[in-house]
């Protein structure tokens, strides 16, 4: 027997007003089709209609995605959001290429798993201890340098 709140959930989740097994099978079918469906190009229909135009579209998407990823790789060593740009380039590629869609989905799953592990109290405690130890060691090295050499740069800047 379904209550009113169950019926409301089934209606919003499946779009039909039936209850019970129909709603459950609709949810199962939706989950199966999400995993089983093949990647479909996000290009407009008039571009997909012509093979040469669609190929040109894919080449353009590849070049734009490659440029964004290259900028992201450069931003790993330069100022800027490098990883964000790399993931954005991958998302651009994922609009057209199934392999990029799979890589992006795998990456999202791994990032989510890492975030969940980082929330573990034991891992957080270990990270705090390691960070504190690193800061203490860095402070000791800087203090030793200042004691030994004073506020002098490690390279010689004398006028010639």
Euclidean distance between CA atoms 93 and 82, whole angstroms:
17
For the cut 50, the answer to whether the pLDDT of residue 139 exceeds it is: yes
119/78 Cα distance (integer angstroms) = 30
Q: Quick check: 160 pLDDT over 60? A: no
Instruction: Tell me how far apart the alpha carbons of residues 45 and 128 are, in angstroms, rounded to a whole number.
Output: 53
Q: How confident is the model at residue 39 (pLDDT cuts 50, 70, 90)?
A: low
Cα 124 from Cα 131, distance rounded (Å): 10
Q: What is the pLDDT of residue 147?
A: 84
Q: Is pTM beyond 0.75 here?
A: no
CA distance 88 to 67: 11
64-96 pLDDT, tens digit each: 999 999 999 999 999 889 899 999 999 999 888
DSSP 57-98: HHHHHHHHHHHHHHHHHHHHHSSS-HHHHHHHHHHHHHTT-H
pLDDT at 38 (0 to 100): 64
15 has a pLDDT exceeding 50: no
Is residue 5 predicted with pLDDT exceeding 90? no
């Amino acid at each position: 027997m379904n209550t009113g709140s169950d019926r409301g959930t089934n209606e919003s989740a499946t779009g039909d007003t039936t209850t019970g097994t129909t709603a459950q099978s609709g949810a199962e079918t939706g989950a199966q089709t999400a995993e089983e469906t093949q990647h479909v190009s996000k290009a407009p229909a008039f571009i997909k209609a012509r093979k040469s135009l669609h190929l040109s579209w894919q080449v353009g998407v590849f070049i734009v995605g490659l440029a964004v990823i290259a900028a992201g790789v450069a931003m790993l060593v330069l100022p800027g959001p490098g990883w964000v740009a790399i993931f954005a380039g991958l998302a651009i590629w994922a609009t057209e290429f199934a392999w990029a869609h799979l890589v992006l989905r795998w990456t999202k799953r791994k990032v989510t798993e890492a975030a969940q592990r980082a929330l573990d109290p034991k891992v957080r405690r270990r990270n705090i201890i390691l960070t504190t130890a690193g800061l203490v060691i860095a402070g000791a090295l800087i203090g030793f340098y200042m004691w030994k050499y004073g506020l002098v740069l490690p390279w010689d800047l004398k006028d010639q």
